[in-house]
Homo-oligomer: A and B are copies of this chain.
Amino acid sequence: MASATTTKTGQPFDREVLDSLLKRTGFYMPSFEIYGGEKGLFDYGPPLTALQSNFVDLWRKHFVLREKMLEVDTTIITPEPVFITSGHVAKFADFMSKDPKTGEIFRTDHLIKQVLGARLKADQDARGQTIEVEKPDEAQKKKKIKDVKIEKLDDAVAQEYHETLAKLDNYDGDGFNELIKKFEIKGPTSGVDLDPPKPFNLMFQTYIGPSADKPNGYLRPETAQGQFLNFQKLLEFNKQKMPFASASIGKSFRNEISPRQGLLRVREFLMAEIEHYVDPESGKKHDKFDDVKDVELTLLNRHTQLAGSEKTEVMTIGDAVAKKVVDNETLGYFIVRIQDFLLKLGIDKTKLRFRQHMANEMAHYAADCWDAELYGSYGWIECVGCADRSAYDLTVHMRKTGAPLVVRENLSEPKKFQEYQIDLNKKKLGPKFRKDAKAVEAAVEGLSQDLREKLSLELKDSGKITIDTPGLGSGKTELDKDLVTIEQREVIQHVREYTPNVIEPSFGIGRILYHLLEHVFWTRQNTDPKDAEPSARNVLSLPPLIAPIKVLLVPLSSHPDFKPFLRSLTTMLDELDITNSIDDSSASIGKRYSRNDELGTPFGITVDFQTVKDKTITLRERDSTKQVRASQEDICQAIEALVKGRETWGKVQSRLPEFTSQEVD
């Protein structure tokens, strides 16, 4: 909803200025633009590609290396059965509404939100108040939308609109249909009745192999399933030690009904996901929790939201876990690590909050979930999810395939207890169920003790039992006493077997990068007295660690004496793996620097006539525009220290001689 935001220097933020800067300087462009473009697909140009690869590098160091995670690279193409089991085929859908006259297709919830939002806005205008509504993006603006009359609403109606918008996530197709009828929502350009909402699965379909005559696979919508399917191998690789985490960085895909908001809602995106496996009986403690317990976080918990407020609370993670605001230490530890990472990246701390999912937002299996939300011109946007997925995924895949996606732990002291055990007559089971026998067996194994007790009575009474076997025939399977016996026996357990729970931090890289660009963008007033009219110049204050290009090399002019210095400097920097570029165009030094301030290049080196004399060069810092002058070696060394975060610019400035000549414009 909200959209007013300011730059780091307190200026009002103007999205159109940043967007035109990003497109002009090649940060990103609509894919296939010369073919008319394709909605929801964007290409990253050189600056954003470099920024993204620095993001990935930092992410790997911050998470995979430091936490000794097991990174895997699993395939994007996934056969259908996997997503049937995970529930994606049945449930990973949005509702769409078709306008029968124009053929336009709308995402139903977005349409309702837009229409009710516009009516509320009109109501407020009529009352002479202002209200912030989501700013339409370029694509939406181009569509001609029927004007909403400036019209006052009944108080009760306005109240109902507000309440509906607050719980829009809870509706299904029928619910949406009722809302559309009740609120008389029509095709926005045609004014006619819309077709009833239909679910549209968001996974891209494909055909695997030469003999497929209908789609038999999908492009994954998340990397998680590929990690879960390899759980056994990963546990083995980790020498059976728990807890541990796997991680994956890769492209995922969602066939959005109506992509919008530029880089925020796209059909193809890079994500980085961690699946951290814990023993559910450990209380989900984390052995490094003590190191982070005093870190403060800005939290928006579910109770506050239920009360209709967005008031955040600053709290240490130690307190949050102690007070059960955050469910457990492991979840808390990862929330802190996510915050650390985002701040290292250059995210503005005042534009970061952690919002807890409300019960109705979470998947039914999730135990707790906190999103890192970043604030920008589209309001608060979820950029990192951190969910406790409980044992859901491993359980369903194990049940379906029979693969033991479990941990076996030797008990120091054997446990004795009574247990209902089910014996299957496998000689008869095989011939009767053939290829389904394994699934029946897995279903039986998955039965709880309570159910087993009930079934043992059923078997005694009727000579047969009926069990749930989802996906097999009618979903129910009957087993008679020839096939099955149930008995209570004493068990002595030497090995404990359990399905681990999963804590999943999941990063949408494009969304984070876009917000980062909003957070580091500002404009500098040009105060050069020689300029007729002072102009504003754009700056992206990206931290040196992740800036696409670290150093711009600028010769004063095209004088041939400067060339050997440029060559030796670029070699020196290349050997330190410090990205650099040369701008030897005829533009003034000031213009060249300001072009690179726009690209977020933190440092600039000038080669001038004094360089030819005494081999010194100047080093300019982007944000302060201050300069120092020293030998090539000293400057390159300083840059290395700055880029690797071993030294600050303040420190460099204090130990190297200042250079005060004006930037020549």
Residues of chain A touching chain B, judged by Cβ–Cβ distance below 8 Å, are 25-26, 29, 31-35, 38-39, 41-46, 48-50, 52-53, 57, 60-61, 65-66, 68, 70-79, 81-82, 96, 103, 105, 200, 204-211, 217, 219, 226, 229-230, 232-234, 236-237, 239, 250-251, 253, 255, 257, 267-268, 397, 401, 403, 405, 574, 577, 579, 581, 583, 585
Contact = CB atoms under 8 A, between A and B. Distances in A.
Nearest to A217: B38
A34 B401 contact: yes
Number of copies: 2
Contacts of A268: 75-77
A166 B65 CA distance: 49
B73 A43 contact: yes
A229 B96 contact: no
B73 A44 contact: yes
A210 B33 contact: no
Contact of A45 (B43, B200, B237): B237
16 contacts: A29-B230, A31-B74, A32-B78, A32-B229, A34-B401, A38-B77, A38-B208, A39-B209, A48-B73, A49-B73, A65-B574, A103-B211, A200-B210, A204-B207, A204-B208, A210-B257
A401 B200 contact: no
Contacts of A73: 43-44, 48-49, 52
A26 B66 CA distance: 21
A521 B77 CA distance: 31
A405 B230 CA distance: 46
Given A61-B577, A211-B105, A46 B237 contact: yes
A288 B405 CA distance: 55
B233 A45 contact: yes
Nearest to A74: B43
A76 B251 contact: yes
A573 to B, nearest CB: 9
Nearest to A587: B239
Given A68-B581, A267-B77, A577-B61, A255 B207 contact: yes
A236 B23 CA distance: 12
A46 B75 CA distance: 14
A38 B42 CA distance: 30
B34 A229 contact: yes
A53 B53 CA distance: 11
A236 B26 contact: yes
Nearest to A79: B38
A324 B41 CA distance: 44
A43 B207 contact: no
A574 to B, nearest CB: 6
A96 to B, nearest CB: 5
Nearest to A70: B46
B75 A208 contact: no
A208 B255 contact: yes
A583 B208 CA distance: 41
A77 B41 contact: yes
A261 to B, nearest CB: 17
A633 to B, nearest CB: 17
B237 A26 contact: yes
Nearest to A226: B43
B226 A31 contact: yes
A230 B43 contact: yes
B239 A585 contact: yes
A209 B585 CA distance: 44
A270 to B, nearest CB: 8
Given A44-B72, A81-B35, A210 B255 contact: yes
A577 B65 contact: yes
A65 B96 CA distance: 46
A583 B226 CA distance: 27
A581 to B, nearest CB: 6
A304 B574 CA distance: 40
A255 B215 CA distance: 13
Given A31-B226, A35-B82, A251-B251, A43 B75 contact: yes
Contacts of A61: 577
A452 to B, nearest CB: 26
A72 B60 contact: no
Contact of A206 (B45, B53, B206): B206
